[in-house]
């Protein structure tokens, strides 16, 4: 019986879980299984994105047949030729002989290597930036060499802002019915396996991952669909932050990964004593016996921790076998930028320390904190001072020095009159984010606010809102005298905030996204998705506050729509608003704000249209070349608009994009 799930209205997950696999790639234990993801798009043409491993081919074909619902399969897009995704291609061609394969030339070469099939006339070759259409959806292609093989490419759906990311952003572990990362506690339950997947599968290729992340940073992402693990439709920025750390070999935490190899327990004893001394000094320690814990788990923790301690007995005049395997794996995975402490044991000729040092010295940014601690059979009392010195050296780098009491400004500061009003203090207050909607002269209006507050209980309950006066919605609300408040939830994607917060109703139909025409009995629309409640209100009083207009209103109708957690203004900034990624080496040119296409050059002709998404010159913004002198000014913390300004912004300044006032700007250089 088929088992599929919808990703979007048009896209269906047709993959499968494998919980019987002992070792992924023959090396990495997967006690929680693994998923092989494949996705079917039903548009004017049908498009399958990758196939699956042979282990799950039967359920995959049931899923595909069910999702196709009698239609023929028009296209197969291949992202990656590793057999965990490509094994089933031959069987697919037998069942769907009319399918056209969309791939790049490196994939074409590998198809010939893996399969004794004649692909003549069956391939449509694409390269970086090409555009492919399936009808309502247009796609462009992003080459991602070495993430994880050289032929890998990602596919970006320009219509649904959805990235098929191949192995990137994948995770070990079966889906267990949970398709989306936000359908469970990903960061509590799955992050360790995501880290183990990344570091062991693509950890070696940090530079290539960084290159792809810089390309991806230009894309607007509502969905990310990897080949393993859950689909991302919210909170992706938090996962992306981890990728930025892992791929740049930056530790996630200031802590120690302590791995030891011990035959009869004496090396283990020394490792335990050092761990105790570290913990007594306030250092966090993650400790592993290399004979018990598979190397892939320790590799993942070595990527996580800032400091590494390796303690190994000597065996056959070398490093003990399980430690040797671990060191070999770390070198092969190209770990960088770590502080290392070494301990060796040997009853007659200890050599493991020297050999570990030689192997790890080849890694960029690795520094050794000590001369190797040498144990002859068992640690002796007079060696404890050596371990104290090691623990002190590590703690001095990891444990923050407490400020002396006399330096505390709280204890000694003399009162010196009122402090200036610090705008940042207002961000510490708890605000929710809502969509305010109204209707005037037969037209619907809406904007994002973070100002709805219940100001009176009783019957009727009352609430207040304030709206920026320059917003079109404010004028229409004054006219209509009534409005709805849709309370947004934490899973709301950034596109909702863009739609209602950064665009004007004078220029776009903000409700085109919602063909359902959902209205309360007052005839005003509300937002049916990513919303947990809606309230209908009638204005009873207004007050002009200068830049904003205050409305006090009776609540005349309300209903709960979902159990989703309300999104706070702070949560929006921390988890939904896209983070700025490290800027790539930048040439002078113009970047398309819609799809990220970059046009190099100092001029952009008036009739220029984006070759990817067809938007015109007005949707491009100038990008200065690297090294160009930075300009002082202020950036809008709401929408990112930059206003060049040498001195202070005028008090009545408002953002030309989102109409927020001077209080929402902070100094910046661009
Ligand atoms: Fe999941 Fe590189 O294959």
* Ligand 1 atom closest to Cα of residue 227: 1
Q: What is the CA radius of gyration of the chain?
A: 29
Q: Which residue has the higher pLDDT, 197 or 642?
A: 197
Instruction: Please tell me the predicted confidence (pLDDT) of residue 104.
Output: 97
Residue 261 bridge partners (DSSP): 312
Distance 580 CA to ligand 1 centre (A): 28
What torsion do the CA atoms of 642, 647, 650, 654 make, to the nearest 10 degrees? 0
Instruction: Please tell me the predicted confidence (pLDDT) of residue 664.
Output: 84
Q: Could you tell me if residue 129 is left (phi over 0), alpha (psi between -120 and 50 degrees) or otherwise beta?
A: left
141-150 mean pLDDT: 92
Helix or strand holding residue 216 (H, E) = helix 206-216
Residue 104 bridge partners (DSSP): none
- Assign 584 a pLDDT band (cuts: 50, 70, 90): very low
Q: Which strands, in side-by-side order, build the sheet including 642-644?
A: 642-644, 632-636, 665-669
d(CA 123, CA 102): 6
DSSP string, 325-349: HHHHHHHHTT--S-EEEEEEE-SS-
- Assign 608 a pLDDT band (cuts: 50, 70, 90): confident
CB half-sphere exposure, 355, CA atoms < 13 A: 24
pLDDT at residue 539 is higher than 90: yes
The pLDDT tens digits of the residues spanning 540-553 come to 999 998 888 999 99
- Assign 581 a pLDDT band (cuts: 50, 70, 90): very low
pLDDT at residue 415 is higher than 60: no
Instruction: Please tell me the predicted confidence (pLDDT) of residue 623.
Output: 79
pLDDT at residue 95 is higher than 60: yes
pLDDT at residue 644 is higher than 60: yes
Instruction: Please tell me the predicted confidence (pLDDT) of residue 613.
Output: 56
pLDDT at residue 210 is higher than 70: yes
257-282 mean pLDDT: 98
pLDDT at residue 211 is higher than 80: yes
> To which residue do tokens 């992706």 refer?
236
* Ligand 1 atom closest to Cα of residue 201: 2
Instruction: Please tell me the predicted confidence (pLDDT) of residue 639.
Output: 67
pLDDT at residue 290 is higher than 60: yes
d(CA 66, CA 71): 10
395-407 mean pLDDT: 71
Distance 110 CA to ligand 1 centre (A): 14
Strands (E), 45-198: 46-49, 75-77, 100-103, 123-125, 131-133, 138-143, 153-157, 162-166
* Ligand 1 atom closest to Cα of residue 167: 1
Q: Name, in order, each residue with C-beta under 8 angstroms of 105's C-beta and a sequence gap of 6 or more.
A: 125, 127
Distance 25 CA to ligand 1 centre (A): 9
The pair of three-digit structure tokens given for residue 169, joined into one six-digit string: 């952003």
Distance 328 CA to ligand 1 centre (A): 22
The pLDDT tens digits of the residues spanning 324-383 come to 999 999 999 999 999 999 999 999 999 999 999 999 999 999 999 999 999 999 999 999
For 260, 273, 463, the CA distances from 268, given in Å and listed in that order, are 6, 9, 65
Contact criterion met (CB below 8 Å) for 357 and 323: no
Q: Could you tell me if residue 97 is left (phi over 0), alpha (psi between -120 and 50 degrees) or otherwise beta?
A: alpha
- Closest Cα to residue 49, out of 57, 37, 60, 58? 37
The pair of three-digit structure tokens given for residue 363, joined into one six-digit string: 């890694």
d(CA 300, CA 83): 24
pLDDT at residue 76 is higher than 70: yes
Helices (H), 373-480: 384-398, 409-412, 423-426, 472-480
- Closest Cα to residue 580, out of 640, 622, 532? 640
Phi, psi dihedral angles at 311 (to 5 degrees): -125, 120
Instruction: Please tell me the predicted confidence (pLDDT) of residue 6.
Output: 97
Q: Could you tell me if residue 20 is left (phi over 0), alpha (psi between -120 and 50 degrees) or otherwise beta?
A: alpha
Based on DSSP, count helices (H) and strands (E) in the chain, helices before strands: 17, 36
Collapsing DSSP to helix, strand or coil, 117 comes out as coil
The pair of three-digit structure tokens given for residue 354, joined into one six-digit string: 């020297």
Instruction: Please tell me the predicted confidence (pLDDT) of residue 403.
Output: 54
The pair of three-digit structure tokens given for residue 460, joined into one six-digit string: 């009727």
d(CA 295, CA 320): 13
Distance 168 CA to ligand 1 centre (A): 9
Count of Cβ atoms closer than 10 Å to residue 491 Cβ: 19
Query: Which of 15-29, 539-553, 590-604, 617-631 has the largest mean confidence?
Result: 15-29
pLDDT at residue 82 is higher than 60: yes
Instruction: Please tell me the predicted confidence (pLDDT) of residue 407.
Output: 45
Contact criterion met (CB below 8 Å) for 148 and 170: no
Pairing of strands 305-315, 253-261: parallel
Which of 18-27, 112-121, 415-424, 462-471 is predicted with the least confidence, judged by mean pLDDT? 415-424
d(CA 158, CA 118): 32
* Ligand 1 atom closest to Cα of residue 148: 2
> To which residue do tokens 């028009």 refer?
74
Helix or strand holding residue 144 (H, E) = none
- Closest Cα to residue 524, out of 452, 444, 433, 435? 444
Distance 23 CA to ligand 1 centre (A): 13
What average pLDDT is seen over the chain?
90
High-pLDDT (> 90) share of the chain, %: 69
Instruction: Please tell me the predicted confidence (pLDDT) of residue 617.
Output: 82
Predicted structure pTM score: 0.68
* Ligand 1 atom closest to Cα of residue 202: 2
Counted residue by residue, the chain has a size of 670
Instruction: Please tell me the predicted confidence (pLDDT) of residue 328.
Output: 97
For 176, 216, 361, the CA distances from 247, given in Å and listed in that order, are 28, 14, 20
The pLDDT tens digits of the residues spanning 500-536 come to 887 777 777 888 888 888 999 999 999 999 999 999 9
The angle, 0 to 180 degrees and rounded to 10, between the axes of the packed helices 321-332 and 295-304 is: 50
Q: Which residue has the higher pLDDT, 342 or 590?
A: 342
Residues with CB under 6 A from ligand 1: 80, 82, 84-85, 148, 167, 227-228
Collapsing DSSP to helix, strand or coil, 183 comes out as helix
The pair of three-digit structure tokens given for residue 249, joined into one six-digit string: 């070999």
Collapsing DSSP to helix, strand or coil, 41 comes out as strand
Q: Residue 127 burial (CB < 10 Å; 0-12/13-18/19+)? A: exposed
d(CA 321, CA 650): 69
Instruction: Please tell me the predicted confidence (pLDDT) of residue 137.
Output: 96
* Ligand 1 atom closest to Cα of residue 152: 2
Q: Residue 67 burial (CB < 10 Å; 0-12/13-18/19+)? A: buried
- Assign 598 a pLDDT band (cuts: 50, 70, 90): confident
Q: Whose CA is nearest to atom 3 of ligand 1?
A: 82
Instruction: Please tell me the predicted confidence (pLDDT) of residue 405.
Output: 46
Instruction: Please tell me the predicted confidence (pLDDT) of residue 473.
Output: 87
Identify the DSSP state of 59. Answer: H
- Assign 424 a pLDDT band (cuts: 50, 70, 90): low
Instruction: Please tell me the predicted confidence (pLDDT) of residue 599.
Output: 83
d(CA 329, CA 258): 16
Distance 578 CA to ligand 1 centre (A): 27
440-460 mean pLDDT: 90
């Amino acid at each position: 019986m088929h088992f599929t799930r919808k990703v979007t209205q048009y896209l269906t997950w047709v993959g499968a879980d494998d919980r019987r696999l002992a070792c992924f790639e023959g090396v990495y234990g997967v006690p929680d299984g693994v998923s092989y993801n494949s996705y079917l798009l039903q548009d004017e043409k049908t498009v399958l994105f990758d196939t699956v491993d042979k282990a799950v081919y039967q359920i995959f074909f049931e899923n595909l047949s069910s999702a196709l619902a009698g239609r023929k399969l028009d296209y197969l897009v291949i992202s990656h030729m590793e057999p965990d995704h490509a094994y089933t291609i031959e069987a697919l061609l037998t069942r769907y002989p009319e399918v056209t394969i969309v791939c790049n030339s490196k994939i074409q070469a590998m198809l010939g290597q893996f399969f004794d099939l004649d692909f003549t006339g069956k391939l449509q070759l694409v390269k970086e930036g090409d555009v492919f259409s399936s009808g309502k959806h247009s796609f462009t292609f992003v080459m991602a060499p070495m993430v994880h093989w050289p032929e890998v490419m990602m596919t970006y759906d320009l219509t649904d802002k959805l990235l098929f990311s191949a192995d990137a952003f994948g995770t070990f572990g079966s889906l267990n019915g949970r398709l989306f990362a936000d359908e469970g506690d990903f960061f509590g339950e799955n992050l360790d396996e995501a880290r183990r997947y990344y570091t062991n599968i693509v950890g070696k290729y940090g530079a290539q991952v960084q290159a792809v992340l810089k390309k991806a940073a230009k894309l607007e992402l509502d969905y990310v669909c990897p080949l393993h693990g859950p689909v991302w439709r919210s909170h992706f920025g938090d996962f992306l932050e981890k990728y930025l750390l892992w791929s740049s070999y930056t530790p996630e935490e200031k802590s120690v990964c302590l791995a030891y190899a011990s035959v009869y327990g004496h090396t283990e004893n020394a490792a335990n004593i050092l761990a105790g001394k570290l913990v007594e000094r306030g250092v966090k320690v993650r400790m592993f016996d290399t004979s018990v814990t598979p190397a892939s788990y320790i590799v993942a923790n070595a990527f996580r921790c800032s400091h590494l301690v390796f303690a190994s007995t000597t065996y056959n005049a070398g490093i003990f076998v399980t430690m040797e395997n671990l060191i070999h794996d770390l070198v092969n995975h190209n770990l960088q930028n770590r502080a290392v402490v070494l301990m060796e044991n040997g009853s007659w000729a200890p050599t493991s320390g020297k050999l570990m040092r030689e192997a790890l010295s080849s890694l960029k940014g690795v520094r050794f904190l000590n001369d190797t601690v040498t144990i002859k059979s068992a640690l002796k009392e007079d060696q404890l001072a050596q371990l104290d010195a090691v623990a002190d050296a590590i703690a001095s780098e990891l444990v923050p020095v407490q400020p002396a009491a006399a330096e505390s400004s709280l204890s000694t500061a003399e009162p010196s009159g009122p402090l200036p009003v610090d705008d940042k203090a207002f961000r510490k207050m708890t605000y929710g984010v809502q969509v305010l909607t109204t209707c005037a002269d037969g037209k619907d209006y809406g904007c994002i606010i973070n100002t709805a507050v219940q100001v009176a209980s009783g019957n009727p309950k009352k609430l207040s809102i304030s709206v920026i006066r320059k917003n079109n919605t404010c004028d229409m609300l004054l006219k209509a005298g009534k409005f709805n408040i849709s309370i947004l939830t934490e899973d709301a994607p950034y596109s909702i905030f863009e739609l209602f917060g950064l665009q004007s109703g004078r220029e776009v139909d903000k409700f085109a996204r919602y063909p359902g025409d959902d209205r309360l009995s007052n005839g005003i629309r509300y937002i049916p998705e990513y919303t947990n409640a809606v309230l209908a209100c009638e204005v009873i009083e207004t007050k002009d506050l200068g830049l904003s207009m205050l409305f006090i209103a009776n609540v005349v109708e309300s209903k709960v729509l979902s159990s989703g957690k309300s999104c706070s203004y702070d949560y929006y900034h921390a988890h939904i608003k896209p983070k700025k990624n490290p800027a790539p080496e930048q040439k002078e040119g113009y970047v398309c704000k819609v799809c990220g296409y970059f046009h190099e050059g100092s001029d952009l002709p008036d009739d220029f249209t984006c070759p990817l998404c067809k938007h015109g010159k007005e949707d491009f913004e100038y990008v200065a070349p690297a090294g160009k002198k930075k300009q002082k000014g202020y950036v809008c913390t709401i929408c990112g608009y930059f206003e060049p300004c040498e001195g202070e912004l005028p008090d009545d300044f408002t953002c030309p994009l989102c109409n927020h006032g001077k209080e929402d700007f902070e100094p910046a250089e661009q």
